[in-house]
Structure 1
Amino acid sequence: MTHGSDDGEALDLAAAQREHWQRTYGTHPGMYGEQPSDPARHAARVFAAAGAQEVLELGAGHGRDALFFAREGFTVLAADFSPTGLEQLRATAAARQLADRVTTAVHDVRRPLPFPDASVDAVFAHMLLCMALSTEEIHALVAEVRRVLRPGGTFVYTVRHTGDAHYGAGTGHGDDIWEHGGFAVHYFPRALVDALAKGWHLAEVHPFDEGDLPRRLWRVTQHRAATPNTPT
């Protein structure tokens, strides 16, 4: 297979996944419920302890975690590639008198983040990095997260890993990406977590389970250097 056809397959998979999530949110509004995820609860504690005021959530979906951050007193930038999910988020924010604390942006994380350098205090991404992204795209995204974080800022993300029961099941797309039940997942080996932490302070890699399968995940907490001229 040529490099060009690899790129075409990746674009086709990305478009198919976007359509799948649009359809899923449209068919199952509020599919993840109203309660925040456990990683979001952890992140809120870490962000508050660091004095963060503004949180960027990547892959916010219909907003259960973004709205939780807003209730906790943070100003929230909620980004997702599904306009349908973000419409649900905005409607719920308005209904709960949180609209002044939540801003949404339709964005595909394969492109550079539409935010200025050093403009946010903290970034949160629950299972966003393990979507149908190539290893190269994941590295580029984490570099963008580092760019938009203020010095000393915190990044908390979660990913399914290669110990998950669905790793190796379903349709393989290469690069540790497997599609099962219509959802494509990039399963992380530990080496990828460590590679993404280069130039950061890696505070924690915490294993946890979620859901009925259960899904096997890591919750990663890492910090940007407190001074912009710290060598990386």
Structure 2
Amino acid sequence: MTEGGPELASEQRRHWQETYSVHPGMYGDEPSAAARYAAEAFRAAGAARVLELGAGHGRDALHFAREGFAVHATDFSRTALDQLSATARAQGLGDRIATTVHDVREPLPLADGSADAVFAHMVLCMALSTQEIRSLVNEVRRVLRPGGVFVYTVRHTGDVHYGAGTAHGDDIYEHGGFAVHFFPRHLVDALAAGWRLADVHAFEEGGLPRRLWRITQTVPD
């Protein structure tokens, strides 16, 4: 466990809820570059049903829906998901997006093998311990069908904020109120054990910029 443990998790949940309340649509309307890539990867794999973890107010979930996928969007912020649902209805996409309030520390709310693809943009690198991350990836594997695709992004130890701010142990540092678990490469490789690791792509996002990896792995057929 991290030094912050459940208290850090609860504090981060409050922080994100307040952030979405004060800054609705804080990430804008345009999908992330990672989501654009994921939509193409999912289509190439013949996916129809996409689970998004940590969907927030929905810029990427809405993109997946516009691309023709049936989307199940989860987040631990009810405020964010309410914003997502309202936007989906306004854009005529309400029938393509389902939402569930969910904390990724808990088992995923899907049956075994019921998803074709899973997307998680900067969710695995939140204030999760390494063991919680491993458990989450195991859950992703459980809900994916054979041949299913998992695309996720994480900030890594080459990021400018790695080692800055308040240290919580387990490569977690809090800066500006947000706690981040920065990934070393060996953790990416460990999480891909038993999968097919297709790609680890380095990219930058935002004004700092944030330095991330975009990982694509698939469940063997």
Partner residue in 2 for 1:79: 74
2:4 counterpart SS class: helix
Shift of 1:9: 3.2
TM-score normalised by L of structure 1 = 0.94
Alpha-carbon displacement from aligned partner over 1:32-88 (angstroms, at most 9, x marks no partner): 000000000000000001110010000000000000000000000000000000000
Paired residues of 2:3 and 2:168 also in contact (CA < 8 A)? no
Work out the CA distance in 2 between the residues paired with 1:46 and 1:15: 34
Runs (4+) of structure 1 moved beyond 3 Å? 6-9
Note if 1:184 corresponds to 2:179. yes
Greater relative contact order (CA < 8 Å, ≥ 6 in sequence): 2
Q: Secondary structure at the match of 1:195?
A: helix
Of the two, which has the highest radius of gyration? 1
Is 1:101 the counterpart of 2:63? The answer is: no
1:145 has 2:150 as partner: no
Unaligned runs of 5+ in 1: 1-5, 227-232
Q: Size of the alignment, in residue pairs?
A: 221
Are 1:113 and 2:108 matched, yes or no? yes
Residue among 200, 216, 220 paired with 1:221: 216
**What is the aligned-residue identity percentage?**
71
Which residue does the alignment assign to 1:173?
168
1:1-232 matches, cutoff 5 A: 9-226=4-221
RMSD: 0.9
Instruction: Provide the rounded CA distance (Å) in 2 between the counterparts of 1:7 and 1:91.
Output: 36
Q: Secondary structure at the match of 2:30?
A: coil
The runs of 5 or more residues in structure 2 that have no matched partner are none
Contact 2:2–2:129 (8 Å) recurs in 1: no
Q: What's the offset of the Cα at 1:8?
A: 8.2
- Determine helix, strand or coil for the equivalent of 1:154: strand
Q: Which residue type is aligned with residue 192 of structure 2?
A: A
Cα deviation 1:158-185 (Å, max 9, x = unaligned): 0000000000000000000000000000
